[in-house]
Amino acid sequence: MTPIPLSDDLLIAEVVRVIRRAAKIPAVVAITADSRLVEDLCIDSLDLVGVVLQIQDHFDVAIEEDAMPHLARVGDVAAYLAGHAVVP
């Protein structure tokens, strides 16, 4: 489990790491804050559920169903996490 808040850059890097691992995205594919999960990273609907689950496990944050459609980019996920920080 990784505590939040991290600095923006560190949080983005951590989110990228979790997404890469969860969706098995090869190292040759660059992932940035602007990367769109579906269009750019080719994460399908099933993979997206897996990514969200891994994010929740990793950061110990519950992502509400209503929020899911708004998490289009990697940066959106990081912003959501920053906004729902559980300060250790």
Give contact residues for other proteins (rule: CB under 8 A): 23-24, 26, 46-47, 49-50, 53, 56-57, 62
What distance in Å separates the CA atoms of residue 87 and residue 25, rounded to the nearest whole number? 30
Residue 10 or residue 42: which is nearer to other proteins going by CB? 42
Token pair recorded at residue 82: 């920053």
Residue 14 or residue 47: which is nearer to other proteins going by CB? 47
Nearest approach, Cβ of residue 23 and other proteins (Å):
8
Residue 1 or residue 10: which is nearer to other proteins going by CB? 1
Nearest approach, Cβ of residue 31 and other proteins (Å):
17
Nearest approach, Cβ of residue 57 and other proteins (Å):
7
User: Are the CB atoms for 74 and 33 separated by under 8 Å?
Assistant: yes
What are the beta bridge partners of residue 36?
A: 73
| SS3 call for 24 | coil
For tokens 């939040």, name the residue: 4
